[in-house]
Amino acid sequence: MSRFDWLSEFLARLHDENVLVRRGLAKALAPAHVLVIDPEDWAKAAAIAAEFGCRWAALWGDELGAKYILYMVLEYGGDYLALRARIPTENPVTPSVVPHFACADRMERHIHDLLGLTFSGHPDDRRWTRHQAWPAHRFPLRRDFPVEGESPDPTPPDSDYPFRRVLGGGVYEIPVGPVHAGIIEPGHFRFQAVGEEILQLEERLGYVHKGIEKIAQGRDPSALVRLAGRVSGDSTVAHAWAACQAMERAARCQVPRRALYLRALMAERERVANHLGDIGAICNDVGFAFALYQLSRLKEQWLRRNQQLFKHRLMMDAVLPGGVAVNLDAEQIDALRADHRRLRAELHTPFDIIDDHPSLEDRLVTTGRLPADAARRLGVLGYVGKASGQGFDVRRDNPYPPYDSVPVTVPVYAEGDVAARVRVRMEEITITLGIMDKLLDTLPTGEVQGLWPAVTRACEGLGCVEGWRGEILTYVRLDETGRVMRFFPRDPSWLTWPALEQLILGNIVPDFPVCNKSVNGSYSGHDL
């Protein structure tokens, strides 16, 4: 099967439905194929894409001159398709695609809150990212909105958000957050329950909105990567890489192959560290502290090696535009190989125990089930998707170097419960250890930092990286002096947060922490 061999059929269907596709810009976001359409055809094109079987992946808006640009990214057979439309500024209304892609819900509301585009026919007109830091009629991402804000007054709490309530005898409501009982990020959860059973969960996020899209504007590439590395601290390597990839594609920067291998090595190390921590934490949430202490011990050793070889325990600021900030000598490579052998041997027993422990099984099997059809409808990614029959992995399905030469196998399960999500993550650690060995065995020689080319024309690029949570899509637009004009990193959490609302239904309230941990959405990566 070759790339985009389905596109002619898709274009024929658009043509049949009288959707006019304009020429030009097709390669502007390579490897995605861009189709420019009219705004009035926006929802119709989405309907055709949904029927065609496309996965909905991302949506962002941009203010360009006297118009708005809307981008929607879809994926089919591993190929990315980007639909682009120009929205007039005097009446920025576009038909909503939510009737066709339920997962577009929060991203459309986010764009409305930040850029002021209206999506007509959206089934939910409540604010999402906006709380009370700016008024409903003002839009921070617009050029006329000052980055420092318009009012120095303290921001009141968002206390009148209209949650949906379940009525009936014995139904009660449990508000949780934004400050949670554990050491975790802030967000609000509103449960409707009868006895112990959860009838409905509504998430209210946006508490850690830090204006990342706004403060990205005007930065040079290095400053943008520093910010990208702080979109979600646990995914610092993956987000920094995705931002670099987007800018490198835009500016046509050649990255030395050794640097790409080192980026992959760091991204895989990030995957191992987070999986180790989370598997332990999931087990601990059901009272199995053994796994937490064993795995956090191994994680700590792993982070100390990061500090030693990559100058930072989380490898922050190690990925730079055009290359990486670190290099490895032969002795360090041998040390890493020995680490991999040791970790493999050390994980054998705890993984075996987790896999075959009746009291764990009792708590994790059938808990927090996300059926495959719901996962597909929600466009769920990463280990949440893989545990529910959705095996998409950018490294395998749209391989970016060095994964074009390092094969990736993807574990997929159909069960969709917490146990399956744990199993996917245990297997991913094992697979990743193999990938890292291969990266070290075939590590090219040469430079680790390429030359950043002088940018003399406005350009844009799309980064597609498989972080440990799943696919990260990052859009960057540079102006003719090479400054960042638009940055939108779509963390996979955008798609997994809504899945938590689904998979928790019918579970008992005390199982919420373990269900939440098994999904582990990033609040910061979502709230931006």
Partner 1 sequence: MLRILRTTLRTGVITEPVSVVDDELVRLGIKVKQVLDARFGGSLALREVDAGSCNGCELEIHALNNPYYDAERFGVHFVASPRHADALLVTGPVSRHMAAALQRTYQATPAPKLVIAAGTCACDGGEFGVTYASCGAVANVIPVDVSIPGCPPTPLALLKGILAAVNRRS
Nearer to partner 1 (CB atom), residue 400 or residue 468: 468
Under rule CB under 8 A, residue 127 binds partner 1: no
Query: How many CB atoms within 10 Å of residue 318?
Result: 22
Q: Please state, in angstroms and as integers, the Cα–Cα distance from residue 460 to each residue in 260, 453, 478, 479, following that order.
A: 21, 14, 6, 9
CA dist 363 and 367 (Å) reads: 7
Residue closer to partner 1, measured from CB, 121 or 135 = 135
Task: Give the span between the Cα atoms of 409 and 412, in whole angstroms.
Answer: 10
The residues near 336 (Cβ < 8 Å, ≥ 6 apart) are 265, 305, 309, 328, 436, 440
Instruction: Pick one of 157, 169, 170, 446: the residue that binds partner 1 (CB under 8 A).
Output: 157
Q: Which stretch binds partner 1 (CB under 8 A): 93-101, 103-111, 177-185, 360-368?
A: 177-185
Site for partner 1 in 260-289 (CB under 8 A): 277
CA angle 377, 355, 342 (to 5 degrees): 110
Q: How far is the CB of 360 from partner 1 (least distance, A)?
A: 11
Measured over the CA atoms of residue 312, residue 314, residue 317 and residue 322, the dihedral's sign is positive
Interface with partner 1 (CB under 8 A), residue from 199, 222, 290, 502 = 290
3-class SS letters over 179-215: CCCCCCCCCEEEEEEECCEEEEEEEECCCCCCCHHHH
- Pairing relationship of beta strands 79-88 and 33-37 according to DSSP bridges: parallel
Task: Using the minimum distance from each CB to partner 1, give the nearer residue, 355 or 404.
Answer: 355
Taking the least distance from each CB to partner 1, the nearer of 269 and 299 is: 299
CB of 293 to partner 1, least distance (A): 5
To which residue do tokens 């199982």 refer?
511
Applying CB under 8 A, among 313, 337, 396, 438 the residue interacting with partner 1 is: 313
- With respect to partner 1, which residue has the nearer C-beta, 2 or 159? 159
Token pair, residue 474, equals: 């990052």
Q: To which H or E segment does residue 76 belong?
A: strand 67-76
Tokens, residue 38:
């009219």
- Look at the block and give the residue holding tokens 């400054």: 483
Specify the residue for token string 């065609």: 52
64-123 positions binding partner 1, by CB under 8 A: none
Residue among 38 and 300 whose Cβ is closer to partner 1: 300
Instruction: Verify binding: residue 344, partner 1, rule CB under 8 A.
Output: no
- Answer for which of 230, 337, 377, 438 binds partner 1 (CB under 8 A) is 230
Task: Assess 232 for contact with partner 1 (CB under 8 A).
Answer: yes
Among 299, 363, 425, 486, binds partner 1 (CB under 8 A): 299
| 505 and 200 Cβ atoms separated by less than 8 Å | yes
Applying CB under 8 A, does 147 fall inside the site for partner 1? yes
Site string for partner 1, 346-385 (x = CB under 8 A): ---xx-xx--------------------------------
Token output for 394:
């950018």
Nearer to partner 1, 284 or 390 (CB): 284
Footprint of partner 1 on residues 479-508 (CB under 8 A)?
none
Residue 434 makes contact with partner 1 by CB under 8 A: no
The token pair at 507 is 């579970």
Could you say which of 234, 248, 393, 428 contacts partner 1 (CB under 8 A)?
Answer: 234
In sequence order, the β-bridge partners of residue 364 are none
**Residues interacting with partner 1, by CB under 8 A?**
131-134, 140, 145-150, 154-158, 178-179, 181-186, 206-212, 214-215, 226-227, 230-234, 236, 277, 290, 293-294, 296-297, 299-300, 303, 307, 313-314, 316, 349-350, 352-353, 522-524, 527
